[in-house]
A and B are shown apart, each in its own frame.
Chain A
């Protein structure tokens, strides 16, 4: 039974990584940059939801919507102020800027909310499910997280495959100049991508803190790095890749924690990443572009 219950926690944690990884992978796909501040947007989302619930006494669903709106705006502002001026700069300059934005957000949070941990109360309003005479307990948070992850995955896939804006995003991610020549406003498309990624980060933040309720200004950084790993693991730029990478990473992490060693679990996670990249450098679902001339 421990095996199954570990598997469920793994899938649930992995679902959170997957939702965060989607933000990394979409932004990378379109802007060809690693937005290292993405993890901190998660933390901001969690704080906003926390304040809405604890200070304004708003119901959880309203708090989530407010957090999503706040993070969407934050994402658009970060892109417009910090990354857009660097559109033609070297990728190293953009990377350093992203790290700068990350520290800025952490320290701004420290200034606003202080260093004392906040105890996040779960947004999930029903009880855990107990199966097989209580031998197997599935937490309500796990169920909600996995369902949210599946809905987001299906939604995003349909969005990029079926809608005009979604297809435009794919066009921009492949070839900016050609997209521009089709009449697609590349800057607006990049903003939309940041907006979607950041709204997803807010959802991830709320789900993460519902399962692990300690909220501090650095709450987002480790899950951020792990989700980035998940995106690379699955094949950066690929939406199903982010999903698969996230869930596998969650399972590997929980299994190493429970069967090998809690201290070593992060090391094992990253060791698996290195192994995968050695064998398949494009990640699990990353594809090499074949080009005929």
Chain B
């Protein structure tokens, strides 16, 4: 479904991503784990067109999207929930969701009902300004907003960031549910333990290149990973 081949990304002179290749197959949950600054967010931003790779190619459902503008990718079935949620803080919950369906205005009504069913807490806050929501609610809103475009593949950047353990569990349950209902998922996480539990496959990123890859199970049992990312 999504194939990234040998991309190299630079921030000015700094070579941030080195020959990254990864693949996400239809129906999979693929996790991208690694320390701060390893290049996880940069990888997602490059896939979604906010950054450009100098070399290499990105293919979404057999179409080369390496040079496609970010705003055109939404209607091709790619949705990206950015790190730090980036909900529209001054708009209401309802308006945020409407923005999610910007490319498919016909889906506004049905989409919002769907999101409210999945995230009942948002329903109660429908007319509230997003800036007044709690961190967990904002994360739910960001995910709900991304679902409004009916994506085939959903990229989530650090959905657990800054959330309490109970909320993290809730968010991961929702990710699992989404996957079971047919959404392919590319998940970036620092919480490697949680990510590896739900991932079919995972890649470990270190200083801008892929160090290891394997099934979630394999990586969770690997000594190297346990030492570096799972606390021993």
Asked whether A181 lies within 8 Å of B90 as measured between CB atoms, the reply is no
Query: A167's contact among B87, B91, B145, by CB below 8 Å, is which?
Result: B91
Once the chains are docked, how many angstroms separate the CA of A289 from the CA of B135? Answer: 16
Asked whether B131 lies within 8 Å of A289 as measured between CB atoms, the reply is yes
Query: B103's contact among A177, A178, A183, by CB below 8 Å, is which?
Result: A183
Contacts of B132 in A (CB 8 A): 290, 292
Residues from 234 to 293 in A contacting B, C-beta threshold 8 Å? 287, 289-293
Residue-wise interface mask of A (63-106) relative to B, using a CB-CB cutoff of 8 A (1 in contact, 0 not): 00000000000000000000000000000000000000000000
Residue-wise interface mask of A (163-179) relative to B, using a CB-CB cutoff of 8 A (1 in contact, 0 not): 01001101100110111
Contacts of A168 in B (CB 8 A): 99, 102
Asked whether A183 lies within 8 Å of B88 as measured between CB atoms, the reply is no
CB distance from A288 to the nearest CB of B (A): 11
Contacts of A164 in B (CB 8 A): 98, 102, 105
Residues from 140 to 187 in A contacting B, C-beta threshold 8 Å? 164, 167-168, 170-171, 174-175, 177-186
Asked whether B91 lies within 8 Å of A171 as measured between CB atoms, the reply is yes
Once the chains are docked, how many angstroms separate the CA of A181 from the CA of B145? Answer: 10
Residue-wise interface mask of B (55-95) relative to A, using a CB-CB cutoff of 8 A (1 in contact, 0 not): 00000000000000111111100011010001111110001
Query: A175's contact among B74, B86, B95, B134, by CB below 8 Å, is which?
Result: B86
Asked whether B131 lies within 8 Å of A181 as measured between CB atoms, the reply is no
CB distance from A165 to the nearest CB of B (A): 10
Known: A167-B95, A181-B70, A183-B149. A291 touches B89 (CB 8 A): yes
Contacts of A177 in B (CB 8 A): 50, 82, 86
Question: Which residue from chain B places its CB closest to the CB of A186 in the assembled complex?
Answer: B71
Contacts of A183 in B (CB 8 A): 71-75, 102-103, 149
Known: A179-B99, A180-B71, A183-B71. A290 touches B86 (CB 8 A): no
Residues from 108 to 164 in B contacting A, C-beta threshold 8 Å? 131-135, 138, 145-146, 149, 162
Contacts of B49 in A (CB 8 A): 180
Asked whether B74 lies within 8 Å of A182 as measured between CB atoms, the reply is yes
Contacts of B80 in A (CB 8 A): 181
Asked whether A290 lies within 8 Å of B131 as measured between CB atoms, the reply is yes
Asked whether A167 lies within 8 Å of B99 as measured between CB atoms, the reply is yes
CB distance from B163 to the nearest CB of A (A): 11
Asked whether A184 lies within 8 Å of B90 as measured between CB atoms, the reply is no
Asked whether A175 lies within 8 Å of B88 as measured between CB atoms, the reply is yes
Asked whether B91 lies within 8 Å of A170 as measured between CB atoms, the reply is yes
Query: B82's contact among A178, A184, A186, A290, by CB below 8 Å, is which?
Result: A178
Asked whether A292 lies within 8 Å of B134 as measured between CB atoms, the reply is yes
Asked whether A182 lies within 8 Å of B145 as measured between CB atoms, the reply is yes
Question: Which residue from chain A places its CB closest to the CB of B133 in the assembled complex?
Answer: A292
Contacts of A185 in B (CB 8 A): 69, 71
Verify if B100 is at the interface (C-beta below 8 Å from A).
Answer: yes
CB distance from A169 to the nearest CB of B (A): 11
Once the chains are docked, how many angstroms separate the CA of A167 from the CA of B82? Answer: 20
Once the chains are docked, how many angstroms separate the CA of A191 from the CA of B1? Answer: 35
Asked whether A170 lies within 8 Å of B71 as measured between CB atoms, the reply is no
Known: A184-B99, A184-B102, A293-B135. A178 touches B88 (CB 8 A): yes
Verify if B48 is at the interface (C-beta below 8 Å from A).
Answer: yes
CB distance from A96 to the nearest CB of B (A): 23
Asked whether B105 lies within 8 Å of A181 as measured between CB atoms, the reply is no
Once the chains are docked, how many angstroms separate the CA of A167 from the CA of B70? Answer: 19
Once the chains are docked, how many angstroms separate the CA of A167 from the CA of B145? Answer: 14
Once the chains are docked, how many angstroms separate the CA of A178 from the CA of B102? Answer: 12
CB distance from A211 to the nearest CB of B (A): 36
Once the chains are docked, how many angstroms separate the CA of A287 from the CA of B131? Answer: 12
CB distance from B120 to the nearest CB of A (A): 20
Known: A164-B105, A171-B99, A292-B133. A181 touches B74 (CB 8 A): yes
Additional A-B contacts beyond A182-B103, A292-B134, A292-B135 (15; CB < 8 A): A167-B91, A167-B98, A170-B90, A174-B89, A178-B86, A181-B48, A181-B70, A182-B74, A182-B145, A183-B149, A184-B71, A185-B69, A289-B89, A290-B131, A291-B89
In the assembled complex, 30 residue pairs joining A and B whose CB atoms fall closer than 8 Å, in A order, are A164-B105, A167-B99, A168-B99, A170-B88, A171-B99, A174-B88, A174-B90, A177-B82, A180-B49, A180-B50, A180-B71, A181-B48, A181-B74, A181-B79, A181-B80, A181-B86, A181-B146, A182-B74, A182-B100, A182-B103, A182-B149, A183-B72, A183-B103, A184-B99, A184-B102, A291-B89, A292-B131, A292-B132, A292-B133, A292-B138
